[in-house]
Amino acid sequence: MIRLVGVHKRFGSQPVLKDINLEINRGEVVVVLGPSGAGKSTLCRTINRLEPIDAGRIEIDGVALPAEGRALARLRADVGIVFQQFNLFAHKTIVQNVALAPVLVRKLGKADARQAAMQLLARVGISDQADKYPAQLSGGQQQRAAIARALAMRPKVMLFDEPTSALDPEMVQEVLDVMTSLVQEGMTMLVVTHEMGFARRAADRVVFMSVGEIVEDSPPDQFFTAPRSDRAKDFLGKILTH
């Protein structure tokens, strides 16, 4: 479903992704872990060309990701992405935020788009907040609305770039619960996160990155109990002892 072959990315003279080779199958959940500066978020953002790559190839469902143009827009519609910040339109209600892209991109009628948006808000547990504005919601509710907005495009793949890192601790679980429900429904997902419990529980594979490279790619049980690399052992030693 997602395939990266020989992907390289630099910011100026600084390499941030080095020869990334990664394949994610349909229905698979891959969690990307690693220290700050490892290239995790950059990896996530290259998958729908929010960050252009300098070399290599990225495919979504067997189709190479073009650099620009309408073909890129069509493929992007198949890839939902949720960021640290919710990026909701402040001047639109929650239901309007969720319904907007299907109207503009999928050319869905407004009434149908609103009905679909309400179903998605119910799915993430905030249908009672539909006619409020983002500023009236908690951070956890706003992030759930952002997930609903991404799902409104009926994506084949969902990318999560540290979706809980900007939330107060008591709001983290409500977002993780929604993500876990997507896992149970068979959504193909790549998740950049520091939530080790979610990685253990929900991932089919854990990809560990360090300084722009994939160092390990293994099932979560193996990664958390018997990591192969010294870098992963050091990372887990620091994370799991706190």
Quick check: 191 and 31 in contact, CB under 8 A? yes
What number is the average pLDDT over the span 22-37?
96
Asked if residue 199 has pLDDT above 90, the reply is yes
Asked if residue 21 has pLDDT above 70, the reply is yes
* Its pTM surpasses 0.75: yes
Q: Can you give the pLDDT at residue 13?
A: 92
Quick check: 44 and 192 in contact, CB under 8 A? yes
Q: What is the CA radius of gyration of the chain?
A: 18
The pLDDT mean for the chain works out to 93
Burial of 32 (0-12, 13-18, 19+ CB in 10 A): buried
Q: Supply 109's token pair.
A: 């009628």
Q: Can you give the pLDDT at residue 139?
A: 94
Nearest to 155, CA basis, from 76, 73, 225: 76
Instruction: State which H helix or E strand residue 214 sits in.
Output: strand 213-218
Asked if residue 104 has pLDDT above 60, the reply is yes
Quick check: 156 and 79 in contact, CB under 8 A? yes
Nearest to 102, CA basis, from 88, 89, 116: 116
CA 171 to chain centre: 18
Write the CB contacts of 121 (distance below 8 Å, at least 6 apart in sequence).
94, 95, 98, 127, 129, 130, 145, 148
Percent of the chain with pLDDT over 70: 99
What number is the average pLDDT over the span 71-76?
80
Asked if residue 241 has pLDDT above 80, the reply is no
Give the number of other CB atoms < 10 A from CB of residue 222.
13
Q: 242: pLDDT confidence band, cut at 50, 70 and 90?
A: low
**Quick one: the chain helix, strand, coil %, rounded to 5?**
40, 25, 35
Taking only the tens place, the pLDDT of each residue in 141-174 is 999 999 999 999 999 999 999 999 989 988 999 9
Give the number of other CB atoms < 10 A from CB of residue 13.
5
